[in-house]
Amino acid sequence: MRFTIAAATTLILGMAMAMAMATVPAWAASAPAWAASAPASADQLRSFVCQKATDPPARAVSVQAVMRPVAGTAKMQMRFDLMRQAVPGGRFKLVRGHFLGSWLNPADPTLGQRSGDVWIVNHPVVDLPAPATYRFRVSFRWLSPGGHQVSSAVQSTANCYQPELRADLLVRSLTVTPLASGNDAYVAVIGNRGLTAAGPVEVDLAGVGSATQVQTIGTVGAHSSARGRFVAAPCTPGASLTVTVDPAHTIDEYDFANNSLTVACPTPSSG
């Protein structure tokens, strides 16, 4: 599957939002009392998952947030922000997406008014562009019956590095060598800058005669190169020769912009 994105700063990520707001109320007779700050147990992050995958839609990061009322709570709210670091050592920036950056409310509006209430939210985000590092920043706030903020807290998850695992095929070079038979040997070096081997790989050569020459390379390994060799009539000096790897884009790779290389047919040496 191919995934392209116009600008990293305006991501709209696909959300497999099983937004399970599991509510477990526990009734208590004690009346609430006002508090200036939330105890540590009132907000919690757990079940952090960083799922790496070759197929972009399967890349995911998720976290489970748990919230309990503090004294004086009439309403509880959570907000999930996903942060993205595109370059190692760079600044984390907010990611735009469905259910990101907005205050969420429990389905039961009375949840949090009893001291034993528990609100659990599972928040996954899928289809993550790579390579990049992600982390959640989760905000909690407790509101009074009058809508004033009783307390607040912010927690962040560990980092989730998502590598780009797909292949990236490219044409590194094309050389032309005269043969004793009167034909020329055209040798194309095909590279793979990605982390996954690719194959079988079709390689086309255009500019020699009227028909495109076609070869198939069995496999191009990750971070390696392979050669495709064509034997055909000599090309016209100065004419354009174009080598294209995977012309039909049948291989799931992350950059198709480097799949072709055009060079001029060399002038034969005078001997």
Burial class from Cβ neighbours inside 10 Å (0-12, 13-18, 19+) for residue 180 reads exposed
More confident residue, 15 or 198: 198
pTM across the whole model: 0.73
Q: What is the mean pLDDT of the chain?
A: 86
> For residue 64, how many C-alpha atoms fall within 13 Å in the half-sphere facing its CB?
12
Nearest to 117 by CA among 44, 183, 67, 62: 67
pLDDT computed for residue 198 by the predictor? 96
Structure letter (DSSP) for residue 131: S
Q: Report the C-alpha gap between 81 and 18 in whole angstroms.
A: 17
* Residue 61, beta-bridge partner list: 50, 125
pLDDT computed for residue 22 by the predictor? 32
Same CATH topology for 19-30+41-162 and 169-264: the answer is: yes
Nearest to 51 by CA among 60, 43, 40, 39: 60
The string of DSSP codes covering 162-185 is: E---SB-EEEEEEEEEE-TTS-EE
pLDDT computed for residue 7 by the predictor? 23
Q: What is the mean pLDDT of residues 139-163?
A: 97
Over 90: is that where the pLDDT of 39 sits?
no
pLDDT computed for residue 205 by the predictor? 97
Q: Where are the domains of the chain?
A: 19-30+41-162, 169-264
Distance between the two ends of the chain, CA-based, in angstroms? Answer: 51
More confident residue, 25 or 109: 109
pLDDT tens-digit map of 124-135: 999 999 999 999
CATH hierarchy code of domain 19-30+41-162: 2.60.40
Q: What is the mean pLDDT of residues 70-84?
A: 97
CATH superfamily of 169-264: Immunoglobulins (2.60.40.10)
